[in-house]
Amino acid sequence: MRAATTAPVVLGIETSCDETGVGIVRGTELLANRIASSMELHARFGGVVPEIAARAHLEQMQPTIEGALADAGLTLDDIDAIAVTAGPGLAGALMVGIGAAKGLAAARELPLYGVNHLVGHVAADVLSGAPLELPTIALLVSGGHTSLLLVRDLAGDVELLGETIDDAAGEAFDKTARLLGLSYPGGPSIDAAAIGGDPAAIAFPRGLTAPKDRDRHRWNFSFSGLKTAVARHVERAEAAAEALPVADVAASFREAVVDVLVAKALDACAAHGIPRLLLGGGVVANRRLREVATERAEAAGVTLRIPPLELCTDNGAMIAAVGAMLVARGDAPSPAGFAAESTLEADVVQVVDDASTR
Ligand code: KG4
Ligand code: ZN
């Protein structure tokens, strides 16, 4: 490794879902953020197909690494360490990134850090320029996760407060879009369909918000009941041969999702006495979510942080940012035999377990 007088240059690889992401950072400075998405390949299935995602990662890996290096104006000689998403995510997809990272690290004799994708989503914020104030509550909402975290220290103290017990928020958008005959990915198409719709037209259920849910599920989420309620609504309209008020259904569905997400996140802020909320994940692209979160956070005296969208969706730069933090702290790299962990818990920032010796 080069002298520690300048911050370490870390190349991060992300392949947990359908985005092949390669990012390069120098400490907390963003140098490159290349993303190749296989989203279009999944469109006709209405959701991510794991095998197709894994194959696409394999094809995109080398060009994406080369593209990121070119964007940063660097070569592999300038890289001090490699970081890769070890989990959570799709096992086959994760394995492609881990394989590439291990190959690169071995060939260039670089330290390799297998890191947590969820922590990466939070770390993305350090790349946006302003320092991240801790502790903070973080709400991560994408096609793969709906997680509420209490982050005290990015490199070591992250607590999972709650998560979805069925569909992820983005998945709910994708499945509901399909029910409404709208295209994949569902988030943007529901956003578009909701224009002019009345968000109060249909009182769709708000999952796990009843008083009885407060003990066990205060900060957990459930969206499958909402999806079923939309399906019943569509069936009723069909049975009665009525035209479906798509704009009203889309607006009311979106309102139900947004309402629950923001209410639970701000409740976590209040309960923990933490007046800071960070949003991450692809669903943050939702206009109504940003609007409602901004309004209600302000009313509650909570400072809201939303990183730029290209850092909110899955990317390699956020993984590199976690790696840079671990290098800066002097943490040892992950053992050479670490494996993909599709259900990695949020509190494991770096994988230090050698799966080959289990
Ligand atoms: O973070 P992301 O790009 O990838 C992962 O799922 O890991 O998130 C993609 C998800 C999809 O489910 C998509 O429908 C959702 O984010 N999404 C949105 C919007 N744009 C994308 N959801 C709601 N509103 C949007 N405007
Ligand atoms: Zn993600």
**Cα(65) to centroid of ligand 1, in Å?**
24
Ligand 1 within 6 A of CB of 142: yes
**pLDDT band for position 3 (50/70/90)?**
very low
Query: Which CATH number applies to 133-307: 3.90.1200.10, 2.160.10.10, 3.30.420.40, 3.40.50.80?
Result: 3.30.420.40
Q: What percent of the chain has pLDDT over 90?
A: 83
Neighbours of ion ligand 2 (CB under 5 A): 142, 314
Closest residue by Cα to atom 2, ligand 1, is 282
CB atoms within 10 A of CB 7: 15
- The ligand that comes nearest to the alpha carbon of residue 187 is 1
Q: Where are the alpha helices (DSSP H) in 47-115?
A: 50-72, 91-108
At residue 358 the predicted structure's pLDDT band, cuts being 50, 70 and 90, is low
Is there an atom of ligand 1 within 6 Å of 197 CB?
Answer: no
CATH number of 9-127+312-329: 3.30.420.40
Does 282 sit in the ligand 1 pocket, CB within 6 Å?
Answer: yes
What is the atom index within ligand 1 of the atom nearest the CA of 171? 12
CA of 211 to the centre of ligand 2 (A): 30
Q: Rounded to the nearest whole angstrom, what is the distance from the C-alpha of residue 291 to the centroid of ligand 1?
A: 17
Angle formed by the axes of helices 91-108 and 50-72, to 10°?
40
Report the C-alpha gap between 274 and 134 in whole angstroms. Answer: 9
Among protein residues, the one with the nearest Cα to ligand 1's atom 16 is 282
Q: Where in the chain is the domain with CATH 3.30.420.40?
A: 9-127+312-329, 133-307
Q: Indicate whether residue 167 lines ligand 1 (CB < 6 A).
A: no
Given a cut of 70, whether residue 57 has pLDDT beyond it is yes
Supply 21's token pair.
């992401």
Let me know: does 12 contact 318? Beta carbons within 8 Å.
yes
Give the model confidence (pLDDT) of 299-356 as tens digits. Answer: 999 999 999 999 999 999 999 999 999 999 999 999 999 999 999 988 899 999 888 7
State whether the beta carbon of 17 lies less than 6 angstroms from ligand 1: yes
Across the range 132-156, mean pLDDT stands at 92
Based on its alpha-carbon atoms, the radius of gyration of the chain, rounded to whole angstroms, reads 21
pLDDT digits 0-9 by tens, 277-296: 999 998 999 999 999 999 99
Q: What is the pTM of this model?
A: 0.91
